[in-house]
Amino acid sequence: MKKYNVAILGASGAVGQQMLQVLEEYQIPVDTLLPLASARSAGGKIKFQGREVEIQEAREDSFQGMDFVLGAVKNAMSKKFAPAIVKSGAVYIDNSSAFRLDPEVPLIVPEINGADALENKGIIANPNCSTIITLMAVAGIAKLSPIKSMTACTYQAVSGAGQAGFAELEGQMAAAVNGGDMQCKVFPTQIALNVIPHIGDELDNLYTDEEMKMQNEGRRIFHLPELKVNCTCVRVPVMRSHSIAVTVRTEDKISVEDAKKAVAAFPGCRLIEDYQGRNYPTPLDTSAQDLVWVGRIREDLCDEKGLTLWCCGDQIRKGAASNAVQIMKYLIENK
């Protein structure tokens, strides 16, 4: 069996750490693992396949001999190192938003448009976490009839802000119980016992860049350039796993029963009809695994060609790390 040299750019962060775990779980045949991070994190140790591996400082000459590089860094660092990665001959699977709307870079959810990844020119983009989870939930329905528009409201866990998001919610919950001071550094206001209906930077149309990702990225993934999405993104006091309430409007009317069958049959999805006495998933149900759980499928009361559903998925795994590893797995199996 051929083995592959794999680098993780951003190995010390929450997504990078999860990538390491998923590589092992998926039994990816790794020969050499190269964990990379900033100079601040270099020298630390990570565990992989039963041994300790030292994190190295990422440099432009770090990628020679690598087959794949999994990116778990912010846009600026991704853009900085992408040319060197491509020049080295490795395939860069990037979790930042740096290249998601670049027409030369495939934007991939393997279960939906995996074949697009085979046309890469050295860079493949991982979509936004809420986009991945939402599109996975409705992809089975899209096979029955093209989606014309979606209205979505996301309920996003603090995991979307990385390790600092976890720490802030934990600190505020402790303060709420013990009467301490509420420290707000990561989020614009208190997140414990609260919700914040604003994620990202506000644009001229008064939507945030986080809210526009579902439309802009959904058009590319579904190959629907006219797709319209109205989205409101809300931060909620949940540790991990995002939830989305979404209404899809299709070209043809689809019955609730046909939609359920399509969702249940779609790879990577789990239809919830009777789970612990309920017909819906929660973030706790879906944490630490890769399936997108879908429930409460019902007719939209405003549009006869609309269907409304609720879905949940782990933001760190399927929304980021696992999707990246699945892209790599797809390339290995199909190239």
Residue-wise pLDDT tens digits, 156-197: 999 999 889 999 999 999 999 999 889 999 999 999 999 999
Provide the terminal-to-terminal Cα distance of the chain, rounded to the nearest Å: 15
231 among known catalytic residues: no
Q: What is the CATH number of the domain that holds 156?
A: 3.30.360.10
Rg of the Cα trace of the chain?
20
Residue-wise pLDDT tens digits, 23-70: 999 999 999 999 999 988 899 999 999 899 999 999 999 999 999 999
Same domain, 10 and 111: yes
Same domain, 300 and 206: yes
Mean pLDDT in residue range 208-217: 98
- Active-site residue among 231, 233, 242, 269? 242
Amino acid at the residue 126? N
Spatial CB neighbours of 42, under 8 Å, sequence gap ≥ 6: 55, 56, 57
Same domain, 85 and 199: no
Same domain, 122 and 136: no
> Could you tell me which of 290, 297, 292, 296 has the C-alpha nearest to residue 312?
292
What is the distance between the alpha carbons of residues 140 and 151, in angstroms, rounded to a whole number? 17
pLDDT recorded at residue 162 = 86
**Residue predicted with more confidence, 125 or 40:** 125
Same domain, 135 and 230: yes
Query: pTM (2 decimals)?
Result: 0.96
- Active-site residue among 129, 231, 311, 312? 129
pLDDT recorded at residue 1 = 79
Same domain, 145 and 290: yes
Which range of residues forms the domain containing residue 291?
Answer: 131-316
What is the distance between the alpha carbons of residues 305 and 252, in angstroms, rounded to a whole number? 6
pLDDT recorded at residue 163 = 86
What is the distance between the alpha carbons of residues 21 and 31, in angstroms, rounded to a whole number? 16
The pLDDT confidence band at residue 276, using thresholds 50, 70 and 90, is very high
Task: Note every long-range contact of 180-186, with CB atoms under 8 Å and residues 24 or more positions apart, other chains counting.
Answer: 186/158, 186/161
The pLDDT confidence band at residue 261, using thresholds 50, 70 and 90, is very high
269 among known catalytic residues: no
Tokens of 108: 């991939």
Same domain, 167 and 274: yes
Q: What is the CATH number of the domain that holds 79?
A: 3.40.50.720
Structural domain total, the chain:
2
> Cβ atoms within 10 A of the Cβ of 46, count?
19
What is the distance between the alpha carbons of residues 131 and 125, in angstroms, rounded to a whole number? 13
C-beta of residue 87 within 8 angstroms of C-beta of residue 66: no
Same domain, 309 and 184: yes
Same domain, 253 and 326: no
Same domain, 146 and 261: yes
Same domain, 138 and 248: yes
What is the distance between the alpha carbons of residues 159 and 176, in angstroms, rounded to a whole number? 20
> Could you tell me which of 5, 65, 3 has the C-alpha nearest to residue 32?
5
Same domain, 312 and 295: yes
pLDDT recorded at residue 236 = 98
